[in-house]
Structure 1
Amino acid sequence: MAKAKSAGEQINATANTFETAFKTGSEALKANFEKAVKNYDQFLGFQKDTVEAYVKAANVAGKGAETLHNEIYAFSKQSIEDAITHGKAVMATKSVHEAFELQTGFAKSAFEAYVANMTKLSELAVATSKETFEPIQGRVQAWVDVVQSARAA
């Protein structure tokens, strides 16, 4: 009888051990599941904000490209008009020397206008690039913050 009682006690002790382990495992599973759902919701919100940032960046890039296009078009149109005006002036000259002087002046002014326009276009491109990448940089920083907070938790 003593052996039977000790066997029963062993069964109860084993059952209690399994029950405690199961309860601990269930609580850990529940806590981790809730944490995963919370992280998933946070991830979805993060992705929504990221998509919005990329849309904003694309809009800025589109407007910048349009501005660059308009500047290039205006410069090209002006260059053609200047060349036509200059061609008429050269044709109206009375000597080769006068034509050469006009051509030299035109070449100098055309080159200066080209350099000025390229400088302007470069500045516009740099400004557009900075504006385009601002929202994306913000999302990269937000991602770093999310990763760091997840590591700390």
Structure 2
Amino acid sequence: MAQTFDDVQKLGKDGLDNAMKSMTAVTKGYQAIAAEVVDYAKKSFEDNSAAVEKIATLKSLDKVIELQSELAKGAYETAVARVTKINELYSALAKEAFKPYEGLFAKFAPAK
């Protein structure tokens, strides 16, 4: 009986350790994602402010349209790059969050 109780106690401790490691990984992952989103918002605001100032100095409607097209293309490329980066961060978060449980899942996986 003592061996069974010790096994259950160890299993509970291991489960708690795995949960803590997983939550730590989730917290770090969300911090990285939040930092990336804040950085993107800040950079986007700065770029848009500079664009408005630059557009205000132009005298020709053709030049304004040309600049606006360039700015839109650049904004799109930047957005795609940032979304890709954020998706990579979410993927890394998931991998790190489930890493503590890999050994546990392996025990219950069907043998090949």
TM-score (norm 1): 0.68
> Following the alignment from structure 1 to structure 2, what is the Cα–Cα distance between the partners of residues 89 and 59?
45
1:7-22 matches, cutoff 5 A: none
Paired residues, number: 109
Bigger CA radius of gyration = 1
Q: Which amino acid aligns with 1:46?
A: L
Structure 1 residue runs of 4+, over 6 Å off?
none
In the alignment, structure 1 segments of 5+ residues that lack a partner are 1-35, 146-153
Residue 84 of structure 1: aligned partner: 49
Select between 132-141 and 112-121 the one with higher mean Cα deviation. Answer: 132-141
RMSD: 1.4
From 32, 36, 44, give the equivalent of 1:71.
Answer: 36
CA distance in 2, matches of 1:137, 1:37: 28
Structure 1 match to 2:85: 120
Which structure has more relative contact order (CA 8 Å, sep 6+)? It is 2
TM-score in terms of structure 2 length: 0.91
Query: Secondary structure at 1:94's aligned position in 2?
Result: coil
Partner SS, residue 59 of structure 2: coil
Query: Shift in Å at residue 43 of structure 1?
Result: 1.1
